[in-house]
Amino acid sequence: MGKVSIYLNFMGNTEEAFNFYKKVFKSEFAAPLMRLGDMPSQEGMPPLSEKELKSVMHVSMPILGGVHIMGTDMLESMGHKLIEGNNVTINLEPDSKEETDRLFADLAKDGSDIAELRQEFWGYWGCCKDKFGVRWMFNFANQNQ
């Protein structure tokens, strides 16, 4: 069954924020926190500083009613700037690659800030802002996991 979660962006304090949320929601991380230094090297990716390698790449935690919040640290060196509007994204995890393609096509139509769907090391991923300014992320996990 597909899932929906809320993705939060932070400027270097994701771990602090999620430790706070753990206390508030009396919850635990869904999986070990992933750091940028844990990521396999990607072709064309610029080198990261020691501080950036320790930054949070991904964290997930259940809060209420089956909803998960997820988070990541944005990187100034990559031109990321945190502003209201880019700090929250609705993450969709459809049941199939075909449904992922369909939802992306419909939501990205007449939208902006599009990262086309593509295969990443964790699965099929993409992101867009719809014509109403709502940010959507798409994740269809690799099936061999």
Residue with token string 């020691």 = 50
In tens, the pLDDT along 10-46 reads 889 899 999 989 998 899 999 999 999 998 887 888 8
pLDDT (0 to 100) of residue 144: 61
Q: What pLDDT digit, counting tens, does each position of 86-112 carry?
A: 788 899 998 999 999 999 999 999 988
- Residue 60 belongs to a domain with what CATH number? 3.10.180.10
Total residues belonging to the chain: 145
Domain of residue 113, residue span: 3-141
End-to-end CA distance of the chain: 16
- Write out the DSSP string of 113-133: EEEEEEE-SSEEEEEEE-TTS
Per residue in 107-145, pLDDT (tens digit) is 999 988 789 999 999 899 999 998 878 889 999 998 764
What is the DSSP track for 46-89?
A: PP--HHHHTSEEEEEEE-STT-EEEEEE--GGGT----TTSSEE
Across the beta sheet with 68-73, what order do the strands follow? Answer: 34-35, 56-62, 68-73, 3-10, 88-93, 135-141, 123-129, 112-119
pLDDT at position 145, please?
A: 47
Share of the chain above pLDDT 90, in %: 52
Residue 122: Cβ within 10 Å count: 14
Residue 97: name the closest of 62, 123, 59, 71 by CA: 123
- Report the number of distinct structural domains present in the chain: 1
- Report, as an integer, the average pLDDT of 41-59: 88
Q: Which residues pair with 88 in a beta bridge?
A: 8
Residue written as token pair 């924020």: 17
